[in-house]
Amino acid sequence: MRQRRIGSFSVSSIGLGGMPMSIPGRKDRDTSIATVHAGLDAGVTLIDTADAYTTSTDGQGHNEILIAEALASYGADTSQVLVATKGGLLYADPGPWVRSGQPDYLTVAAKQSATRLGVETIGLYQFHRPDPEVPYAESIGALNDLVAAGVIRHVGISNANVDQIREARGILGDDLVSVQNQFSPAHLDSRAELELCAKLGLAFLPWSPLGGIRRAGDLADDHAVFGEVGREVGASPQQVALAWELSLAEIVIPIPGASQPASITDSAKAADLELSAEQLARLGA
């Protein structure tokens, strides 16, 4: 698969989001493991998880444990796979998830994530969502300390606005390597953040790049042009959406979620999908 960069890592231009495998309504464990294996078979070397991807009965870290188990059981070398995880949210049923940006909490959460993932150092650790009760600089400062302590290698931030990206950059310098925000044909509000990431050389990781778990299958119904272009090039509307996102900047690395092998196998094909300038213009109109 074509590669893009996150800090010092070269990763597949399409990643795999692990959330659907662990939240309520998920598939069985064997199907989830098979989904991760299918992603690896397709060339995916970026897997995105979080300690908050779980249910009220499983406790923090269900998805991290699942991803670690899937990698261990793959039967081939997975040393080039970057598992990016996140901290700063606690699962709550029925929701919303509880934010916790306290430095002491993030320090403990990162160390617990490393244990669940079975690594000494987490390659990419992301602050999941700003906590309005804690100054942003304090939360980011905790991640800076975790880098210095060798618990994490690179830092990412998620659900961040332009000002927060600049603030985090000022604290972390080159240790800040990525921003993960919602972005898709249905959610274009993070275009300014994407453009800032391109300017700063930060990877931009769209979460829910197909519109979300409940809407991904209806993408062509909601945005007809993606179905039209898909028919022109012999690809699914979902592949077209991911290819369009990849075309926006070299720093974009979509992380579509998946809960069954067919989904990530289809998404991975977007990395090699060539769209004409005219088609891209129609998609972006």
Question: 13-54 pLDDT, tens per residue?
Answer: 999 999 999 999 999 999 999 999 999 999 999 999 999 999
Write down the catalytic residue from 53, 91, 125, 136.
53
**Backbone dihedral region of 171: left (phi > 0), alpha (psi from -120 to 50 degrees) or beta?**
alpha
Q: Is the pLDDT of residue 194 over 90?
A: yes
Higher pLDDT, 42 or 217: 42
Q: Which of 51, 160, 182, 54 is nearest to 106 (CA)?
A: 51
Higher pLDDT, 92 or 30: 30
Q: Which of 215, 258, 257, 223 is nearest to 241 (CA)?
A: 223
Catalytic residue list contains 53: yes
Q: Which of 132, 200, 129, 140 is nearest to 167 (CA)?
A: 140
128 contacts 50 by C-beta, under 8 angstroms? yes
136 contacts 164 by C-beta, under 8 angstroms? yes
One-letter amino acid identity for 205?
L
Question: Tokens 């972005």 label which residue?
Answer: 183
Question: What pLDDT does residue 181 have?
Answer: 98
Q: Which of 99, 172, 109, 156 is nearest to 129 (CA)?
A: 99
The DSSP symbol for 159 reads S
What does the CA dihedral 131, 174, 198, 246 come to, rounded to 10 degrees? -80
- Over range 257-277, report the average pLDDT: 97
Q: Which of 272, 185, 161 is nearest to 237 (CA)?
A: 185
88 pLDDT tier (thresholds 50, 70, 90): very high
276 sits in which H/E element:
none
Whole-angstrom distance, CA of residue 175 vs CA of residue 97: 27
223 pLDDT tier (thresholds 50, 70, 90): very high
71 contacts 44 by C-beta, under 8 angstroms? no
Q: Is the pLDDT of residue 213 over 90?
A: no
Q: How many other CB atoms sit within 10 Å of the CB of residue 218? A: 14
Here the tokens at position 112 are 């617990």
- Over range 155-163, report the average pLDDT: 98
255 contacts 207 by C-beta, under 8 angstroms? yes
